[in-house]
C-alpha cells in the first residue's frame, strides 16, 4: 500500500480516535496530521516491518500526553455531540469529567475502552509499567463513577 | 461491569462527532512548512556562528545586571514595522530575538522534586511549584535569574480528610500568592479551598472552603486587599483579612485582574468568540469587534487572538490590526499574555513589534506556566531526554517594552 492510500482509507478512523483522545476537533486534526507527518518519514520501514496503523496510533497517544502534560489549564473541549447516548444520560457531565481527567488517565481509558487494548499493550504504547496503567485506569474510573453518582442524585 | 460497557459505548458515540478534514492536504502543507523551517534554521545558524561572541556577551551582561538592554528588540522593531502581517514574518530563534528573557535553570529542587514553573513575578523572578510526584505540589519556590538560586516560599499544606487532593491554580500579584485546591470528602462531594501566603514566605492561611454550588471555582486572582475568583456564573471577592465573600459581577470570568471577559472555560466555548472585556474595578466595558469569520477569539485589554479559516488570527479589541498567522502559529484558546504576546505551538508572536520568536526545542515536549492569569513562562528541556536535568525558560515578563 502507498502512504496516500493509507491516509485515505484509515484517515477517518484516525480522526475519530484523535477526537476521543483530545476531546476537540481542532486538536484531533492537529494530532493526526503531526503523526502522519512522522509516519510519512518512515513509511518504507514501517510498511515493510510494522503495522502502520498501530504505529500511528502509538505516536498519537504519546504525542497527546507530551503536548498536554504541562498544559492542564488551556485545553478546552468541544460541545458534547448532540443526539447521542450522552443526551439520554446526565452526561454533558461525563464529557466534562473526561475533559477534566489528567491526559494520561484519559489516554489509558481510551486505549482500554475505545481501542480494546489489554493493560500490557497499553503499557507498551504509552511506555509506562503495567502497574501504572492499572492505577491510572482505577483512578480515572473512580472519578467517572463518583461524579456521575453525585449528578444523578442531584437530578432525582 | 455495566459502567465499563457504558463508558465504551459513550466513547464510541463521542467518536462519531469527529471532524472530517482533508488529511493528505494537511500533511503536505505541514511537510512543506517543515522543509522551509529547516532551511531557515540553517541560514540562522550561519549568522549566529559569525556573530556568536557578541551574542553571548550581550546575554551574559543582561542577566548579570538585570538591566534593560534591548538591542535585539529595538533592532527587530526597526526591521519589522508595527502590525506587520505575521504571515510575512518568519520566526527567528528566541535566543536571538529576546536574549534577555531566556535562561537555564535546574529542573529539580534541593529535595529532587520536579519543578513546574507557574509564572514570571518580574523580569528576574519566576514562581515555581515543586512536585514530589506527578501533579502533586510539595512546595512553592521563587527562582531568581540573577543569583541563579531558588528560595522556598512555603511548603504546601493539605487538609486531612480530603481525598484526591490537588493544588490547582495559583496566582500572584508580586506581594502574595493565592491558590485553590481540589478535593473530595469521603462521600464524594466536591470541596474547594482558597489559600494565601506572602511571597516573602510564611505560613499559608486557609481563606475559605467552598462546597456545593459554590465549589465550581474556575479561576482566581489577587486584587490588593482581596482575593477574587470566578465560577461558572459570577465573580466573587473576599478580603484577605477574612470575612464573607461578596458577589462582584454576574456572568463574567476573570482573565487577569482587574480585567474579565464573558467566556467561561469548558465544553462548548472553544470556538466561541469573546464579546467584551470588562474592568471589574471601574466598570469600564470594551466591546470586541470580531474579524469576519473569527473563531475562538480571546482578548485582553487591547489585543485578541483566535482562528480564522483554520489559520491563526490576531486583531485589536476595536477590530483594527487584523493579521493572519501561518498555521503553525494557530494559538490555543488562550488569552494573550500581558495583553501583548500570542503563543502558538513552539512560537510566540509579539503584537507590539510584529516579531515572532521560535523555540528550538531539542526534546519532544514543551510546557507553559500554570498560573491563573495567562502565564509569562514557556519552558522546555535542555536535552532530548524526557527527564532533563535543566530547563530552558522563556519569561515574557523580561522582554523589554516596545519602543
Residue A79 lies in a domain: no
Count Cβ atoms within 10 A of the Cβ of residue B200 and give its class: 0-12 exposed, 13-18 middle, 19 or more buried. exposed
Of A37, A67, A147, the CB nearest to B30: A37
- Asked if residue A65 has pLDDT above 50, the reply is yes
CA distance B117 to B129: 6
Residue of A nearest to B386 (CA): A66
Q: Are residues A64 and A112 in the same domain?
A: no
What number of other Cβ atoms are within 10 A of residue B300's Cβ? 24
Contact B184 A4 (CB under 8 A): no
CA distance B256 to B253: 9
Q: Are residues A92 and A53 in the same domain?
A: no
Tens-place pLDDT, residues B260-295 = 999 876 545 667 899 999 999 999 999 999 999 898
- Asked if residue B51 has pLDDT above 50, the reply is no
Confidence of residue B52 (pLDDT cuts 50, 70, 90): very low
Give the model's pLDDT for residue B198: 96
Count Cβ atoms within 10 A of the Cβ of residue B21 and give its class: 0-12 exposed, 13-18 middle, 19 or more buried. middle
- Asked if residue A69 has pLDDT above 50, the reply is no
- Asked if residue B64 has pLDDT above 50, the reply is no
Judge whether A86 is closer than 8 Å to chain B, CB to CB. Answer: yes
Residue A3, min C-alpha distance to chain B (Å)? 10
- Asked if residue B223 has pLDDT above 50, the reply is yes
Q: Which of A24, A44, A73 is the last residue in one of the domains?
A: A73
Q: Are residues A154 and A89 in the same domain?
A: yes
- A108 CB neighbours in chain B (<8 A) are none
List the CATH number of the domain containing A129.
1.10.10.10
Give the model's pLDDT for residue B86: 54
Q: How far apart are the first and last CA of chain A?
A: 55
Domain boundaries defined on chain B: 27-398
- Kindly report which listed range (A42-56, B296-310, B324-338) carries the lowest average pLDDT score: B324-338
Give the model's pLDDT for residue B145: 97
Confidence of residue B380 (pLDDT cuts 50, 70, 90): confident
- B268 CB neighbours in chain A (<8 A) are 78-79
Task: Look up residue A54 and give its three cell numbers.
Answer: 498501530
Give the model's pLDDT for residue B3: 66
Q: Are residues A37 and A62 in the same domain?
A: yes
- Asked if residue B112 has pLDDT above 90, the reply is yes
Mean pLDDT value across residues B146-154 = 97
Contact A15 B11 (CB under 8 A): no
Higher pLDDT, B84 or B9: B9
Q: Are residues A10 and A33 in the same domain?
A: yes
- B333 CB neighbours in chain A (<8 A) are 74, 76
Residue A30, min C-alpha distance to chain B (Å)? 9
Q: Which of A46, A73, A100 is the last residue in one of the domains?
A: A73
Contact A94 B23 (CB under 8 A): no
Give the model's pLDDT for residue B340: 94
- B13 CB neighbours in chain A (<8 A) are 81, 84-86
Give the model's pLDDT for residue B195: 97
- Kindly report which listed range (A7-16, A64-73, B9-18, B51-60) carries the lowest average pLDDT score: B51-60
Of A69, A71, A76, the CB nearest to B270: A76
Q: Are residues A61 and A6 in the same domain?
A: yes
Residue A4 lies in a domain: yes
Q: Are residues A29 and A49 in the same domain?
A: yes
Which residues 269-298 of chain B have a CB within 8 Å of chain A? 269-271
User: Which strands make up the sheet holding B92-93, listed edge to edge?
Assistant: B92-93, B355-358, B347-350, B341-344
Judge whether B169 is closer than 8 Å to chain A, CB to CB. Answer: yes
ipTM of the complex: 0.79
Q: Are residues A55 and A112 in the same domain?
A: no
Q: Are residues A93 and A35 in the same domain?
A: no
Contact B270 A78 (CB under 8 A): yes
Higher pLDDT, A86 or B88: B88
Range of the domain at A123: 85-156
Q: Are residues A64 and A109 in the same domain?
A: no
Confidence of residue B152 (pLDDT cuts 50, 70, 90): very high
3-state secondary structure of B87: helix
- CATH class of the domain whose range is B27-398: mainly beta
Pick the closest to residue B79 from B362, B355, B378 (CA basis): B355
Q: Which of B95-104, B183-192, B289-298 has the highest mean pLDDT?
A: B95-104
Phi-psi region of A145 (alpha: psi -120 to 50; beta: other; left: phi over 0): alpha
Please report, for residues A33, B61, B103, B309, B372, the alpha-carbon distance to residue B146 in angstroms, rounded to integers and kept in the order given: 41, 11, 10, 44, 25
- Split into its structural domains, chain A has a count of 2
CB B193 within 8 A of CB B208: yes
Higher pLDDT, B212 or B325: B212
Confidence of residue B179 (pLDDT cuts 50, 70, 90): very high
CA distance B185 to B170: 22
- A92 CB neighbours in chain B (<8 A) are 267
Q: Which residues contact B220 (CB under 8 A, 6 or more apart)?
A: B169, B170, B171, B178, B179, B180, B194, B227, B228, B229, B254, B372
Residue of A nearest to B365 (CA): A66
Residue A78 lies in a domain: no
Please report, for residues B68, B94, B124, B136, B401, the alpha-carbon distance to residue B397 in angstroms, rounded to integers and kept in the order given: 12, 14, 8, 26, 9
Judge whether B166 is closer than 8 Å to chain A, CB to CB. Answer: no
Residue A80 lies in a domain: no
Tens-place pLDDT, residues A88-110 = 333 456 667 787 788 888 999 99
- Asked if residue B47 has pLDDT above 80, the reply is no
Q: Which of A42-56, A86-100, B130-144, B233-247 has the highest mean pLDDT?
A: B233-247
Give the model's pLDDT for residue B303: 95
Of B17, B267, B333, the CB nearest to A74: B333
Q: What average pLDDT does chain B have?
A: 81
Contact A29 B19 (CB under 8 A): yes
Q: Which of A73, A106, A124 is the last residue in one of the domains?
A: A73
Q: Are residues A89 and A64 in the same domain?
A: no
DSSP element (H, E) containing B287:
strand B285-287
> DSSP of B290-356, one letter per residue?
PPTTEEEEEE-SSEEEEEETTEEEEEETTS-S-EEPPGGG---S-PPBTTTEEEETTEEEETTTTEE
- Kindly report which listed range (B11-25, B26-40, B232-246) carries the lowest average pLDDT score: B26-40
Tens-place pLDDT, residues B131-142 = 887 667 899 999
Q: Are residues A2 and A53 in the same domain?
A: yes
Amino acid at each position: 500500500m502507498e502512504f496516500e492510500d493509507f491516509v485515505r482509507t484509515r484517515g477517518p478512523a484516525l480522526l475519530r480516535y484523535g477526537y476521543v483522545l483530545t476531546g476537540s476537533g481542532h486538536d484531533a486534526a492537529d494530532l493526526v496530521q503531526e503523526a502522519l507527518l512522522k509516519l510519512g518519514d518512515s513509511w518504507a520501514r514501517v510498511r515493510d516491518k510494522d503495522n502502520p496503523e498501530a504505529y500511528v496510533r502509538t505516536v498519537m497517544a504519546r504525542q497527546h500526553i507530551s503536548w498536554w502534560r504541562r498544559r492542564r489549564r488551556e485545553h478546552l473541549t468541544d460541545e458534547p455531540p448532540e443526539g447521542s447516548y450522552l443526551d439520554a444520560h446526565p452526561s454533558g457531565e461525563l464529557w466534562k469529567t473526561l475533559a477534566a481527567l489528567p491526559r494520561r488517565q484519559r489516554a489509558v481509558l481510551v486505549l482500554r475502552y475505545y481501542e480494546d487494548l489489554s493493560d500490557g499493550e497499553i503499557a507498551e504504547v504509552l511506555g509506562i509499567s503495567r502497574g501504572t496503567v492499572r492505577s491510572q485506569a482505577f483512578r480515572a474510573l473512580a472519578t467517572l463513577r463518583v461524579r456521575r453518582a453525585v449528578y444523578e442524585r442531584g437530578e432525582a | 461491569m455495566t459502567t465499563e460497557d457504558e463508558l465504551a459505548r459513550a466513547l464510541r458515540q463521542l467518536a462519531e462527532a469527529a471532524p472530517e478534514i482533508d488529511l493528505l492536504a494537511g500533511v503536505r502543507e505541514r511537510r512543506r512548512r517543515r522543509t522551509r523551517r529547516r532551511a531557515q534554521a540553517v541560514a540562522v545558524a550561519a549568522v549566529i556562528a559569525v556573530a556568536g561572541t557578541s551574542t553571548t556577551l550581550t546575554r551574559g551582561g543582561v542577566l548579570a545586571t538585570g538591566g534593560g538592554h534591548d538591542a535585539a528588540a529595538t533592532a527587530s522593531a526597526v526591521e519589522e514595522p508595527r502590525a506587520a502581517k505575521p504571515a510575512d514574518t518568519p520566526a527567528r530563534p528566541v535566543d536571538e530575538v529576546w536574549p534577555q528573557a531566556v535562561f537555564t535553570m535546574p529542573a529539580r529542587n534541593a529535595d529532587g522534586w520536579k519543578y513546574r514553573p507557574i509564572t514570571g513575578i518580574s523580569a528576574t523572578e519566576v514562581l515555581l511549584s515543586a512536585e514530589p510526584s506527578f501533579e502533586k505540589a510539595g512546595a512553592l519556590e521563587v527562582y531568581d535569574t540573577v543569583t541563579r538560586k531558588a528560595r522556598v516560599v512555603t511548603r504546601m499544606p493539605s487538609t486531612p480528610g480530603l481525598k484526591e487532593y490537588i493544588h490547582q491554580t495559583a496566582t500572584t500579584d508580586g506581594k502574595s500568592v493565592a491558590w485553590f485546591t481540589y478535593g473530595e470528602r469521603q462521600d464524594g462531594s466536591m470541596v474547594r479551598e482558597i489559600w494565601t501566603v506572602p511571597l516573602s514566605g510564611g505560613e499559608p492561611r486557609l481563606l475559605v472552603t467552598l462546597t456545593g454550588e459554590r465549589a465550581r471555582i474556575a479561576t482566581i486572582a489577587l486584587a490588593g486587599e482581596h482575593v477574587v475568583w470566578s465560577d461558572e456564573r459570577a465573580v466573587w471577592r473576599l478580603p484577605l483579612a477574612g470575612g464573607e465573600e461578596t458577589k462582584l459581577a454576574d456572568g463574567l470570568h476573570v482573565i487577569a485582574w482587574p480585567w474579565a471577559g464573558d467566556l467561561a472555560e469548558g465544553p462548548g466555548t472553544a470556538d466561541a468568540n469573546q464579546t467584551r472585556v470588562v474592568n471589574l474595578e471601574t466598570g469600564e466595558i470594551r466591546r470586541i469587534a470580531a474579524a469576519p469569520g473569527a473563531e475562538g477569539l480571546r482578548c485582553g485589554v487591547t489585543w485578541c487572538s483566535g482562528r480564522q479559516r483554520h489559520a491563526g488570527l490576531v486583531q485589536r479589541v476595536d477590530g483594527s490590526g487584523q493579521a493572519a498567522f501561518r498555521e503553525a502559529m494557530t494559538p490555543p484558546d488562550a488569552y494573550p499574555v500581558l495583553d501583548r504576546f500570542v503563543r502558538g505551538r513552539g512560537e510566540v508572536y509579539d503584537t507590539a513589534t510584529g516579531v515572532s520568536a521560535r523555540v528550538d526545542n531539542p526534546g519532544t515536549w514543551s510546557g507553559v506556566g500554570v498560573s491563573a492569569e495567562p502565564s509569562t513562562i514557556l519552558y522546555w528541556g535542555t536535552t532530548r531526554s524526557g527527564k532533563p536535568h535543566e530547563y530552558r525558560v522563556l519569561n515574557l515578563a523580561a522582554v523589554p517594552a516596545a519602543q
